[in-house]
Amino acid sequence: MRVITFGTFDVFHIGHVNILERAKELGDYLIVGVSTDDLNFYKKQRYPIYNERSRAQIVNAIHCVDEVFFEESLELKREYILEHKADILVMGDDWKGKFDEFCDICQVVYLPRTAEVSTTEIIKTVRDN
């Protein structure tokens, strides 16, 4: 089974490792769409700390990840799922319900987020110290 997931994966942390490893366990080939810097600016009105090339390289270096591509637009999710022939779409449960529309082309699974870790909190901690 081919599994696809999406994310920014900025300031890569243990929550990112956990979701990638658990996503891979649902199948045997894991494809990750890493959102581009411009998509992040559109989503969060700021650029990520690490640029898209570094973020993609880090995700690609994780042993359970088989393939990485750039997610350029939120509107292209259906095309990405079809293009990569994904059987399962995995997202953290902060996105619960948001991608149910893709149930017609793949299984949609929301996994619980890892508690008490986020890129936003890490940036805040570094800033405050």
- The letter for the amino acid at 38 is D
CA separation for the pair 65, 74 (Å, rounded): 21
78 binds ligand C2G (CB under 6 A): no
Choosing from 1, 49, 74, 126, the residue that interacts with ligand C2G (CB under 6 A) is 74
* Residue 18 beta carbon to ligand C2G: minimum distance, rounded to whole angstroms: 6
Of 55, 21, 49, nearest to 35 by C-alpha is 55
Q: What is the DSSP letter of 91?
A: E
Choosing from 3, 11, 19, 106, the residue that interacts with ligand C2G (CB under 6 A) is 19
Could you tell me if 54 and 74 are in contact, meaning their C-beta atoms sit under 8 angstroms apart? no
Choosing from 61, 105, 117, 126, the residue that interacts with ligand C2G (CB under 6 A) is 117
Q: Using CB under 6 A, list all residues that contact ligand C2G.
A: 6-10, 15-16, 19, 35, 71, 74, 91-92, 94, 113-114, 117-118
